[in-house]
Amino acid sequence: MECGNLKCFVIVRLILRITKNYKEYDTGKAIQTVDLMQNGYMMQTLLFNSCESSICANLLPKNGCINYYPELISPIHCSRLFDQLKQNIAWQFDEIQMFGKKIVTQRKVAWVADPNCSYTYSGVKKHPDHWTPALLDIKSKVEKVAGCQFNACLLNLYHNGSEGMGWHSDDEKELDCNAPIASVSLGATRKFAFKHKLDKTIYSLFLESGSALIMHAPTQRFWNHSLLKTKRLVLPRINLTFRVIRSKE
Ligand SMILES: O=C(O)CCC(=O)C(=O)O
Ligand SMILES: [Mn+2]
């Protein structure tokens, strides 16, 4: 695509995205202005870095790097993949430790990984399930855009908008902190936010079905993230976060 055409394409996509963000915004949340400002920032970034990779420019203002790929998986494949994962994964209610107490969440989870890649988070140790063909297919797609080979995937199944995930960063000791974390979404579009650990700046975006959000180092060190709950009626969503577990030698 020629440079001029590419710029036009980028501008049109941004205008559509800003309009969509504005329409879909959950009212009453303090982050509305930040959203719009950040889209302004994003537009600036894209216009001034106009090049082949401009669609995937860094969306964070500092201390990290995230890239958003709206159509890693084409729309016609999304619902089939969603159904396959819903049926073939050994989903379990998530158990987390909070203030010394074990809490069972509504959200369901699964941990799929290479053998020996166990993972402890929120005080609970997960032993890996086997990769399925559908997961391996998504893994190879996301590895191409992330530029990294993953050996593990945490899967989350949110039944509706009342289920989300609170502020946290993916910085457990088993994870290779220099490797990216790649988040693939299927099903309902949901709002995802980043909050800077020191100055509390918030940046948020919508994660659409079939999209991939790549969080490169050092994002986890400086930013927490959260999947926001919503009162809107939304369909179920599956999220896959591909990770690299450090080898134990
Ligand atoms: O569902 C999402 O988009 C976020 C999931 C997440 O942050 C995690 O599994 O650590
Ligand atoms: Mn996370």
Number of structural domains found in the chain: 2
Q: Are residues 93 and 1 in the same domain?
A: no
Tell me if the pTM is above 0.85.
no
Q: Are residues 69 and 184 in the same domain?
A: yes
Give the span between the Cα atoms of 171 and 79, in whole angstroms.
31
Nearest CA to ligand 1 atom 8: 241
Closest CA to 206 of 9, 26, 11, 12: 26
Which domain covers residue 51, as residue numbers? Answer: 1-57
Mark which of 34, 57, 80 sits at the end of a domain.
Answer: 57
181 lines ligand 1 (CB under 6 A): no
Distance CA 53, CA 75 (A): 22
The 3-state DSSP class for residue 135 equals: helix
Residue ending a domain, among 35, 57, 79, is 57
Whether ligand 1 lies within 6 angstroms of the CB of 59 is answered as: no
CB of 165 sitting under 6 A from ligand 1: yes
Looking at the fold, whether 48 and 77 belong to one and the same domain comes out as: no
Give every CB contact of residue 181 below 8 A, 6+ residues apart in sequence.
Answer: 170, 175, 214, 215, 220, 241, 242, 243
Whether residue 187 is contained in a domain is answered as: yes
Task: Say whether both 87 and 39 belong to one domain.
Answer: no
- Pick the ligand that lies closest to the CA of residue 204: 1
Residue 207 CA, closest ligand 1 atom number: 3
Q: Based on the domain organization, do 53 and 63 belong to the same domain?
A: no
CATH at 218? 2.60.120.590
Per-residue pLDDT of the chain (249 residues; tens, 9 = 90+): 454 565 655 555 655 554 443 333 332 232 322 333 344 334 323 433 332 344 579 999 999 999 999 999 999 999 999 999 999 999 998 877 777 788 888 899 999 999 989 888 767 788 899 999 999 999 999 999 999 999 999 999 999 999 999 999 999 999 999 999 999 999 999 999 999 999 999 999 999 999 999 999 999 999 999 999 999 989 999 999 999 999 876
Name, in order, each residue with C-beta under 8 angstroms of 44's C-beta and a sequence gap of 6 or more.
none
Q: Do 92 and 211 fall within a single domain?
A: yes
**Residue linked to tokens 């089939």:** 80
Cβ of residue 67 lying under 6 Å from some atom of ligand 1: no
Name which of 227, 204, 211 is nearest 22 in CA terms: 204
Residue 249 lies in a domain: no
Q: Is 211 in the pocket of ligand 1 (CB under 6 A)?
A: no
Whether residues 157 and 126 fall in one domain: yes
* Distance between Cα 6 and ligand 2 center (Å): 33
